[in-house]
Amino acid sequence: MAKDRGHFATKFGILMATVGSAVGLGNIWRFPYQVGEGGGSVFIIFYLIAVFFIGIPAMVGEFIIGRHSHANAVDSFKKIAPGTKWHGIGYLGVLTGFIIDCYYCVVTGWTLYYLFLSASGGLLGNTVEGYSELFTNFAGGTFMPIVFLFMVIAITGIIVSFGIKDGIEKTSKIMMPLLFVTLVVLAVHSLFLPATQEGLDFLFLPEISSLNFDTLLSAIGQAFYSLSLGMACLITYSSYFTDDVNLSKTAARISIIDLMVALLASVIIFPAVFSFGMEPEQGPGLVFKVLPSVFSQMSFGYLWSVMFYVLLFLAALTSFISITEVVVAYISESFKITRKKAVIITCSIFSVIGAITSLSFGPLKDFTIAGMNIFGCFDYLSTNILLPVGGILTSLFVGWRLDRKIIEEQLALSPSKKFIFNLYIFSFRYVIPIAVGAVLIASLLT
Ligand code: TRP
């Protein structure tokens, strides 16, 4: 069974692929702003607490299910709890992955376009308004964003069709180190800009007024999203893990690397933004409108802009690949078709829905559901509702339903570490469901 599904070949490959999933737009355009808004180091401390007490155990929970069952999102639950309805969590995961992918491919397409634009020199020498117009015209267009979205889907499709070892693992082992090098070079450069101190102050100075429950909830939500939790993504990846991998250590390493990337991305962005008299923004505005203007004023701006968009593109692509794998693994194994066929089916559907989503910035911008365009709707539904629901259910499943022997076996703790085992169980049963439940309720109320 496990043999012909494929698996990762090396521990380094496992780490790079899983970090590739975790490190994404969440680190580069969501985290920095949240830190700035959430009172600098106040948010960072809450975020550390969220990663340590909720993120890492939740990740280990997904790893236990995946590696024990060696099966896709849906079958893993069916194997562990046959004849029950628990595999609904798997369906929910595949659906969530589907929805996230339909908007994630749009943004990944934008990052690829900006990479081309910066490499061709076309991103320099514009005015602040010019950059804003450039982005609005591009994203609101009918043709170009869809061309780039198709390119992203095609690249992803090709990588995923090569399978785990020859596709995802091989490319992650090249792309992630490249991403780290780019990140470090850019961060070091940022420390020598005129307003470095101001940028770092915005990021790190504690704003005591942010010391409240809302900031804590945003930190938990951010940790969940950034660590790719709640939609069986890590269940799917860990189903290809080899048995010699220590799950707790791997989860800790991934979380630390993910955190470092988020912090370095913030160190890259804020000193640069302040040095050139711009205001920090969140999301697309920041990376596609503000930063181009910042780069164009820097010396060697060409170099820095190309590096930044390489970074952004690789981060987005490897995350997009991981979500796609959830859907592809499920379709190919459930309908008993080859991986290639499953990729073609999945990517065709993404292309159509992705294209429609992309149009929500142009011709379809007046089409709204509950006041949000299609893109906003997919984002809200998946991030604010489906992911927390998936996370809560997965954690309850591991804590209350999963045989303790399976957990013990997967954690491979020595008998002297009974305390850590109990701590995990306590997190699965109470801490994660309550904390993530609070995030869900808060986002439903606002
Ligand atoms: N973690 C990625 C980011 O930070 C996004 C992502 C990939 C994700 N796979 C996921 C989010 C699964 C939630 C669930 O951008």
Give the model confidence (pLDDT) of 113-150 as tens digits: 999 999 999 999 898 899 999 999 999 999 999 999 99
383 in contact with ligand 1, CB cutoff 6 A: no
226 in contact with ligand 1, CB cutoff 6 A: yes
21 in contact with ligand 1, CB cutoff 6 A: yes
323 in contact with ligand 1, CB cutoff 6 A: yes
| Tens-digit pLDDT profile for residues 4-15 | 789 999 999 999
CA distance 271 to 264: 11
Quote the ligand 1 centre to 42 CA distance (angstroms).
24
228 in contact with ligand 1, CB cutoff 6 A: yes
Quote the ligand 1 centre to 25 CA distance (angstroms).
8
| Tens-digit pLDDT profile for residues 140-182 | 999 999 999 999 999 999 999 999 999 999 999 999 999 999 9
25 in contact with ligand 1, CB cutoff 6 A: yes
Quote the ligand 1 centre to 300 CA distance (angstroms).
32
Q: Atom 11 of ligand 1 has which residue's CA nearest to it? A: 228
424, pLDDT greater than 90:
yes
Q: Which atom of ligand 1 is nearest to the CA of 230?
A: 14
2, pLDDT greater than 80:
no
Q: Atom 13 of ligand 1 has which residue's CA nearest to it? A: 228
Which band of pLDDT confidence, cut at 50, 70 and 90, is reported for residue 264? very high
The whole-chain average pLDDT of the chain stands at: 94
64 in contact with ligand 1, CB cutoff 6 A: no
Quote the ligand 1 centre to 316 CA distance (angstroms).
9
Across 339-347, average pLDDT: 97
CA distance 162 to 158: 7
Distances, alpha carbon 94 to alpha carbons 235, 252, 329, in Å = 11, 25, 10
172 in contact with ligand 1, CB cutoff 6 A: no
Q: Any idea what the Cα angle at residue 140 is, between residues 139 and 143, rounded to 5°?
A: 80
Which band of pLDDT confidence, cut at 50, 70 and 90, is reported for residue 284? confident
Which band of pLDDT confidence, cut at 50, 70 and 90, is reported for residue 50? very high
93 in contact with ligand 1, CB cutoff 6 A: no
Pocket test for ligand 1, best of 110, 233, 255, 379 (most atoms within 8 A of CB): 233
Residue 159 confidence (pLDDT):
98
